[in-house]
Amino acid sequence: MSEADLEFIDNPKARRYIKSLPYTPGVPLVSMYPHAHPLAIDLLQKMLIFDSTKRISVTEALEHPYMSPLYDPSANPPAQVPIDLDIDENISSEMIREMMWQEMLHYHPEVATAIIMS
């Protein structure tokens, strides 16, 4: 792996660690999955690119020819307002657990009943 291939990694320790790993040649996906559709192999190769800046985006993956029988772009119009995905890094792990629990209960309220009964 060249220095240019690791350029996107900001953490110097992570970059050094990756550079310390022994070289292992890739195994062609077509030899691992000889019966897979060629378009499936193409999509998988594009999704497994190490550098995230060069990897296929979610939208591009959904619009890939292999996905055409499964994905209808008109069924998923873009959001009308920007979505803020900033996460408060000051949230405690206990608070994250509680938020996850509440989210699970929202979709599976029967879980709370099962826990109370046990």
- The tens digit of pLDDT for each residue in 41-86 reads 999 999 999 888 899 999 899 999 999 999 888 887 777 887 777 7
d(CA 37, CA 65): 11
CA angle, 31 then 33 then 38, to 5°:
95
Phi, psi (deg, nearest 5) at residue 28: -60, 130
| Digit-coded pLDDT (tens) for 92-118 | 889 889 999 999 999 888 887 777 776
The DSSP 8-state label assigned to residue 108 in this structure reads -
Q: Can you tell me the mean pLDDT for 24-32? A: 94
Rounded-to-integer distance, Cα 22 and Cα 2, Å:
13
pTM exceeds 0.75 for this model: no
Q: In Å, what is the CA distance from 102 to each residue of 49, 83, 112? A: 35, 21, 10
What value does the mean pLDDT take over residues 1-25? Answer: 87
